[in-house]
Amino acid sequence: MDKINEFFEKVNLPGWTKTFFYHNRWTALAGVLSVIISVNLIGCQPQTNSPYSKKKVTAAQLDAEGEAYQVSADSRMRAIMAEVDEKKTLSKAAYADLQHQRDIIKGGLDIISGLTGMIPAPFQQTGTSILALMSAALLADNSRKNTKIQELQAANPTMPDPDPNVVT
C-alpha cells in the first residue's frame, strides 16, 4: 500500500486527475488494466503450431497453408498416377514380349520334336527329343571323322593304324 502512495506522490498528474487517482486508486488501476487487457485480447489472435510449416500461425494462415498443401498433394498425386499408368503400359508391352519369346521357344521345341518323330510316343518329351537329336548329331559327326581319317591314311601310308582299343 505504501508503494502505491509513493507512486502517486512521485507522479506529476495534473490537478483533478491526481485527486481522482489518489481517492479511487483501485478503480483506476482496474480500469487501466482492463484497457490494457482488452487491447491485447482484441489485437491478439490465437496461434498454434502449424503441421505444415512447423511455425506459429493463426487460423487464417493455417487455412492458407492447408489449401496450399492440398494443391501440392493433388499435383503430386496426379504425377504419381501418370507414372503408374505409364508403368502399366510398359508392363503390358513387357508381358507381350515375354509371350512372344515363349512362342518362339515353343515353335523351336515343336520343330525339334518333329525331327525326332521316330522316337516312340512315350519318350517324346522335350528333354528326350533334344538328347536324341544331339545323339544323332554326334553319330553323324563321328562317322564323318572316321571317313576323314580313312582318307588321310590312304593318302599317307606311313601313318600308323589307330589303336582298336581307343574309341574315337
pLDDT tens track for 109-144: 777 666 656 555 655 566 666 677 778 788 888 888
pLDDT digit string, tens, across residues 89-101:
999 999 999 999 9
Which residues fall within 8 angstroms of residue 55, CB to CB, at 6 or more apart? 49
Place of cell 521357344: 105
Question: Cell numbers at residue 141, please?
Answer: 559327326
pTM (whole model) above 0.75:
no
Domain locations in the chain as residue ranges: 1-43, 129-168
What the block records as the C-alpha cell of 117 is 518323330
The number of residues making up the chain comes to 168
